């Protein structure tokens, strides 16, 4: 049996005096199930406490590291929580198709489109076919991660006289300039134990968004655009233009596949630097040297788009999707609460939270680095979810990973793409 955290009014001293509290949901219970445990669970409980104080609802949360398996068990048994928080939209899509999710209210789609940066992207990511085949909006994204980032040491750039590139053309020119000056531009590592190869899939996904349209990206993730299509092969080769050039990568191209992704950024901190740049998601500071201050000792910039291709400012990332798995009026009200700036700000102040909501107070972010990262998210013209996370597990967390390791090791891109596509076709 799940032990749901109770977010009733007795636990809510921190939100005492909140405006507009009226208790109209007193006696109504809302259960929420997600993946957050430990400190993150404490924070999400604070967010839910704000809703409980406003409405009088009895809000109960439980987190699990077996969420993906348990939510299916609960849904099939008819004992699903009111709201499930999905770490990947693929599982939500599957459950919608089986009739386990309830469409959100009709006003949610237009609101997201108007109030979220790149709003249509978020509507598309939460829209799936239901059991009857009709497309509906089944989820709202709340808490986002950004992957389209390049990390660097400001002091190293300043000493060398390098400027932050504003386009992919400028980034490639900077890469060549660093080599001409006798340095090494990039640190890249694909190692991750049994998950080795996933950092390369992020590179390829970012390159797909910078060389092809969002529609092509979506078609690729859905296998309507095959891995063997020249557009996909070209994106793989865009990654190879950085990773398979001995002069571009610390340790040479041969070290890319064997270097652990957690160790790969360390070259930036060496003296003299072993590399000047590292492309990785917003979580990577966890693996920087102890005591490193983001925004001072190390900083980041947006992994830029090609100016000549006019594809806007695409951002690759991930996020959590809140969906209704056991409908009630109170469940719909909790989803509606996520539209309010105060819901976002309740987590923002604790750190580790980015949001595409254009109406939040950016001063609530606990530091300038997080605020800057969120500006990148707000500047996105297109947001797309990590493609490998949306593909079938045998591909996105299997042949795509291993194929990228083979490619980094020197195998031909078309040959690698054919092998990945073959594994996808074999799933039918």
Mind giving me the DSSP string for 273-298? Answer: -S-SBEE--TTGGGGSPTTPPBTTTB
Give the C-alpha separation, 263 to 27, whole Å. Answer: 52
Give the C-alpha separation, 371 to 93, whole Å. Answer: 31
82 & 180 share domain: no
166 & 274 share domain: yes
- Give the pLDDT confidence of 244-266 residue by residue, as tens digits: 999 999 999 999 999 999 999 99
* DSSP state at residue 396: I
- Give the pLDDT confidence of 265-301 residue by residue, as tens digits: 999 999 999 999 999 999 999 999 999 999 999 999 9
**Which residues constitute the domain of residue 156?**
149-314+387-425
88 & 193 share domain: no
What are the distances in angstroms from CA 178 to CA 17, 70, 244, 259, 274? Answer: 57, 50, 16, 22, 11
Report the pLDDT value the prediction gives residue 178, as an integer from 0 to 100.
98
- Give the pairing of strands 278-279 and 83-86: unpaired
Give the chain's length.
428
Cα 233 to the center of its chain, rounded Å: 23
Give the C-alpha separation, 402 to 200, whole Å. Answer: 10
At residue 305's C-alpha, the angle toward residues 299 and 306, to 5°, is 135
259 & 336 share domain: no
Quickly list H helices, 79-191.
Answer: 89-97, 108-115, 119-125, 154-160, 168-180
Residue 5 has pLDDT above 60, yes or no: no
- Give the pLDDT confidence of 159-180 residue by residue, as tens digits: 999 999 999 999 999 999 999 9
Q: Which two tokens stand for residue 219?
A: 């078609």
At residue 338's C-alpha, the angle toward residues 337 and 340, to 5°, is 70
What are the distances in angstroms from CA 103 to CA 32, 73, 81? Answer: 17, 21, 15
73 & 170 share domain: no
Residue 10 has pLDDT above 80, yes or no: no
Three-state secondary-structure class, residue 100: coil
Residue range 186-190: average pLDDT? Answer: 98
Cα 104 to the center of its chain, rounded Å: 22
25 & 62 share domain: yes
Sheet harboring 299-302: ordered strands across? 278-279, 149-152, 299-302
Structure confidence at residue 9 as a pLDDT band (50, 70, 90) = very low
Q: Which two tokens stand for residue 250?
A: 């610390």
Report the pLDDT value the prediction gives residue 68, as an integer from 0 to 100.
93
Structure confidence at residue 88 as a pLDDT band (50, 70, 90) = confident
Lowest mean pLDDT among 2-6, 78-82, 97-101: 2-6
- Answer whether 115's CB lies under 8 Å from 339's CB: yes
Q: Which two tokens stand for residue 204?
A: 């390829």
Average pLDDT, whole number, for the chain? 94
Q: Which residue has the tokens 């048994």?
A: 77
Structure confidence at residue 12 as a pLDDT band (50, 70, 90) = very low
- Give the pLDDT confidence of 118-155 residue by residue, as tens digits: 999 999 999 999 999 999 999 999 999 999 999 999 99
Residue range 79-83: average pLDDT? Answer: 98
Residue 21 has pLDDT above 70, yes or no: no
Report the pLDDT value the prediction gives residue 23, as an integer from 0 to 100.
87
282 & 272 share domain: yes
Three-state secondary-structure class, residue 119: helix
- Give the pairing of strands 58-63 and 5-6: antiparallel
171 & 295 share domain: yes
Report the pLDDT value the prediction gives residue 2, as an integer from 0 to 100.
57
Residue 85 has pLDDT above 60, yes or no: yes
Structure confidence at residue 4 as a pLDDT band (50, 70, 90) = low
- Answer whether 325's CB lies under 8 Å from 101's CB: yes
Report the pLDDT value the prediction gives residue 403, as an integer from 0 to 100.
98
Q: Which residues are CB-neighbours of 34 under 8 A, at least 6 positions away?
A: 44, 61, 62, 63, 64, 67, 84, 85, 320
Indicate the number of domains in the chain.
2
Residue range 46-51: average pLDDT? Answer: 97
391 & 381 share domain: no
Nearest to 31 by CA among 363, 258, 276, 326: 326
Give the C-alpha separation, 344 to 355, whole Å. Answer: 7
Number of H helices, E strands in the chain: 17, 12
- Answer whether 289's CB lies under 8 Å from 58's CB: no
414 & 328 share domain: no
- Give the pLDDT confidence of 374-384 residue by residue, as tens digits: 999 999 999 99
Residue range 18-45: average pLDDT? Answer: 88
Residue range 407-414: average pLDDT? Answer: 98
82 & 122 share domain: yes
Three-state secondary-structure class, residue 223: coil
Sign of CA dihedral 135, 138, 142, 148: negative
Report the pLDDT value the prediction gives residue 22, as an integer from 0 to 100.
79
Q: Buried (b) or exposed (e) across 346-384, using 16+ Cβ within 10 A?
A: bbbebeebbbbbeebeeebbeeebbbbbbebbbebebbb
19 & 86 share domain: yes
Regarding pTM above 0.75, the answer is yes
Give the domain CATH number at 173.
3.40.190.10
């Amino acid at each position: 049996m799940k032990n749901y955290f109770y977010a009733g009014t007795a636990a809510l001293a921190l939100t005492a005096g909140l405006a507009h509290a009226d208790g109209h949901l007193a006696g109504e219970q809302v259960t929420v199930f997600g993946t957050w445990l430990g400190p993150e669970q404490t924070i999400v409980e604070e967010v839910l406490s704000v809703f409980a104080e406003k409405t009088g609802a009895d809000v109960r949360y439980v987190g699990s590291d077996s969420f993906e398996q348990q939510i299916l068990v609960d849904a099939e048994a008819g004992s699903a929580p009111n709201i499930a928080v999905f770490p990947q939209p693929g599982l939500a899509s599957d459950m919608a198709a089986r009739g386990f999710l309830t469409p959100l209210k009709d006003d949610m789609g237009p609101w997201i489109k108007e109030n979220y940066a790149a709003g249509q992207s978020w509507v598309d990511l939460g829209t799936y076919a239901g059991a009857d085949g009709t497309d509906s909006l089944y989820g709202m994204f709340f808490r986002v991660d950004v992957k389209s980032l390049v990390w660097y040491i400001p002091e190293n750039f300043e000493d060398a006289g390098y400027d932050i590139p504003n386009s992919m053309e400028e980034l490639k020119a900077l890469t060549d300039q660093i080599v001409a000056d006798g340095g090494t531009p990039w640190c890249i590592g694909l190692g991750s134990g049994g998950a080795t190869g996933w950092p390369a899939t992020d590179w390829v996904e970012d390159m797909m968004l910078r060389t092809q349209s969002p529609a092509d990206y979506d078609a690729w993730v859905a296998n309507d655009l095959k891995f063997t299509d020249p557009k996909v092969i070209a994106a793989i080769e865009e990654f190879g233009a950085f990773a398979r050039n001995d002069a571009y990568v610390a340790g040479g191209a041969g070290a890319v596949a064997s270097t652990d992704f957690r160790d790969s950024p360390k070259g930036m901190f060496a003296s003299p630097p072993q590399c000047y740049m590292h492309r990785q998601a917003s979580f990577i500071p966890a693996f920087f040297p102890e005591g490193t201050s983001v925004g001072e000792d190390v900083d980041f910039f947006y992994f830029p788009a090609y100016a000549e291709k006019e594809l806007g400012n695409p951002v690759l990332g991930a996020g959590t999707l809140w969906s209704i798995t056991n409908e009630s009026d109170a469940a719909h009200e909790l989803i509606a609460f996520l539209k309010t700036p105060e819901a976002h700000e309740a987590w923002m102040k604790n750190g580790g939270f980015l949001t595409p909501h254009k109406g939040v107070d950016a001063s609530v972010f606990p530091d300038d680095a997080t605020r800057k990262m969120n500006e990148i998210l707000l500047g996105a013209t297109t947001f797309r979810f990590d493609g490998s996370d949306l593909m079938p597990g045998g591909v996105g967390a299997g042949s795509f990973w291993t194929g990228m390791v083979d490619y980094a090791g020197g195998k031909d891109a078309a040959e690698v793409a054919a092998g990945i596509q073959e594994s996808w076709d074999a799933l039918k």
